[in-house]
Structure 1
């Protein structure tokens, strides 16, 4: 039987090797992007943008200046958040490796070294704070620095120590709208003496607690394996978790109405109605969890919390823009 030799085609082999190289480079780039937790960065940017818009609306801006400050605010915040997330992943590598939902992240999966994650995290954090400081004002940079430091040096190491880490972590999680408020405000103190920015901080601070406890309920076995001290792990029956969810959901209703008084003339009745309706809806899901303490109720509460925040923030911005258009 005659054997037919395949012709050698160096050009085709070269093309295949280039394609394989491109795939490896794309995968490597994807790992570095994943290191920064882009989903969290997007949420941070949304809350920052709301703070910036509400603070900037009363000011008389030159369009070029507005665009430059807004761009510096968004890019600086994105870099800061990405850096903090990278540092968090580097610190939590062992705990992430013990959880199914996080073990495939770049550092616990050994696709990026801890050393590399730390250097990238520090570099992005410094660049973000610096850009906010120079491109916006020192107050925006300072708030960003506080956000990074409390997230990385307080919340992250306390997660395996105390369930109070959930509340401690809500502090840096609620600071991004203050970054935006400081960047957009013309106040000598970056608007940090004004109640408007703090009312946004309060909404996101309180919202985070039932939101995170719903997540912790769903993944309580994985959190237990990783050594996280969260209420659903420490109190298996769910009574304390459901009570905490209920209390924080009740508190969210009056807190969500605070911008009406804290930002007078920019926020009014339309926002109040929407925020009240959303708060009652969130509370309804919290009551259901308190009644049956089931995984299904926790899952529905989680999705309700996911819907709650963008609706309330969108209502804030639309109400403020509508009032400006009518004046």
Structure 2
């Protein structure tokens, strides 16, 4: 009987010792795992704090992206060109305030546009990495940025330039956000409305220089309007898949034939638009001669796009459009008719006439 009990007791003792050793090792492993988990959590907290700090450091970059800084740069450039090409003399202070105010108005409009289009931008390859889609900043933050930018821009234009220029800037914000943006998903007419929006900045520059909108601003408006119709239709041709996924109504998607016809028409329309410049006293007639070469090549590329209807011809037309606009505006500036200011030239002419009449009477 004892012989049977002793081996059992010995086995129980051995089992209890093994269990105790296993428990101590297991408990130690648990403690180590918990400590490693705590260390990882502390590292994650530090990483989150660094990420938050990094986000604040990157805020200016986010604001630039929210402003669509390349597009805003183009808008400011056309406003500056409108001011420089207008017939009156250049004032650096007014020129600087015009540039700043126009840039802020454009930034506000683009920020509101991105806020409205968050659900649609996420579906498009071209826009899926925008700051609001990636949630780098909140929609409320974006609206706050747009409000401050828009109010500051309009106020700067009204107080430092003139009320007419400020009114044009404010109207363009409303036209871009309340008409063009929502209509992009409703009708292809959005392209024409968008071209009007893009043609307003040179009018702002002209109004900042002259103080009114006369016949001289029509060639600038026509240039920007027709140029955009070519530029955007060529661009949209190679983005048809993106626009389809986003649900946007674009000619390249809804009516490809109309897209090509409109692009060609406005390539050709740029020729008489350039003739309007000397007719309305903005440039000399040499501008027509100089611009004819650039416009002829643009028209040729538009014709190729119309006939071939392929991605390559659309891409070449789009790429040359990026060069066409600055070239034409530079030629307008080079061939500007009134360099000393139209009013000053008229006053000088009146003085010369008076001196001549006095000399005749003497």
Paired residue for 1:292? 308
Match of residue 37, structure 1, among 59, 63, 68: 68
Once the two structures are superposed, residues 201-242 of structure 1 have per-residue CA deviations (whole angstroms, 9 ceiling, x without a partner) of 11101110111011110101000000000011113xx32221
CA distance in 1, matches of 2:198, 2:110: 12
Contiguous gaps of at least 5 residues in structure 2 = 1-46, 346-362
**TM-score after normalising by structure 2:** 0.77
Aligned residues of 1:257 and 1:275 also touching (Cα < 8 A): no
Paired residue for 1:46? 77
Q: How far has the Cα of 1:153 moved from its partner?
A: 0.6
CA distance in 1, matches of 2:141, 2:162: 30
Once the two structures are superposed, residues 258-284 of structure 1 have per-residue CA deviations (whole angstroms, 9 ceiling, x without a partner) of 11112x2x5113321222222111110
Q: Which one has a larger percent helix, Structure 1 or Structure 2?
A: 2
Stretch deviating more after TM superposition (87-96 or 313-322): 313-322
Paired residue for 1:256? 274
CA distance in 2, matches of 1:162, 1:85: 20
Rg comparison, structure with higher value: 2
Q: Alignment length, in residue pairs? A: 296
Alignment of 1:222 onto 2:245: no
Aligned residues of 1:173 and 1:205 also touching (Cα < 8 A): yes
CA distance in 2, matches of 1:105, 1:184: 36
Alignment of 1:303 onto 2:319: yes
CA distance in 1, matches of 2:60, 2:79: 26
Paired residue for 1:6? none
Aligned residues of 1:146 and 1:172 also touching (Cα < 8 A): no
- Distance change >3 Å, CA 323–CA 131, structure 1 → 2: closer
Match of residue 131, structure 1, among 156, 168, 188: 156
Q: How far has the Cα of 1:173 moved from its partner?
A: 0.8
Give the 3-state SS of the residue equivalent to 2:137 in structure 1: coil
Match of residue 146, structure 2, among 96, 121, 125: 121
**TM-score after normalising by structure 1:** 0.85
Paired residue for 1:271? 287
- Distance change >3 Å, CA 35–CA 225, structure 1 → 2: same
- Distance change >3 Å, CA 17–CA 217, structure 1 → 2: closer
CA distance in 2, matches of 1:90, 1:256: 37
Paired residue for 2:93? 68
- Distance change >3 Å, CA 182–CA 277, structure 1 → 2: same
- Distance change >3 Å, CA 154–CA 216, structure 1 → 2: same
Paired residue for 2:265? 247
Aligned residues of 2:283 and 2:337 also touching (Cα < 8 A): no
- Distance change >3 Å, CA 242–CA 17, structure 1 → 2: closer
Give the 3-state SS of the residue equivalent to 1:256 in structure 2: helix
Once the two structures are superposed, residues 36-84 of structure 1 have per-residue CA deviations (whole angstroms, 9 ceiling, x without a partner) of 11101110111101111122x534x7xxxx2221121111111111111
CA distance in 1, matches of 2:166, 2:51: 42
- List aligned pairs for 1:101-120, cutoff 5 A: 101-120=126-145
Q: CA RMSD in A?
A: 2.2
CA distance in 2, matches of 1:22, 1:78: 28
- Distance change >3 Å, CA 111–CA 226, structure 1 → 2: same
Paired residue for 1:232? 252
Once the two structures are superposed, residues 147-174 of structure 1 have per-residue CA deviations (whole angstroms, 9 ceiling, x without a partner) of 1110111000000000010001111110
Aligned residues of 1:191 and 1:197 also touching (Cα < 8 A): no
Contiguous gaps of at least 5 residues in structure 1 = 1-15
CA distance in 2, matches of 1:305, 1:161: 27
CA distance in 1, matches of 2:57, 2:290: 43
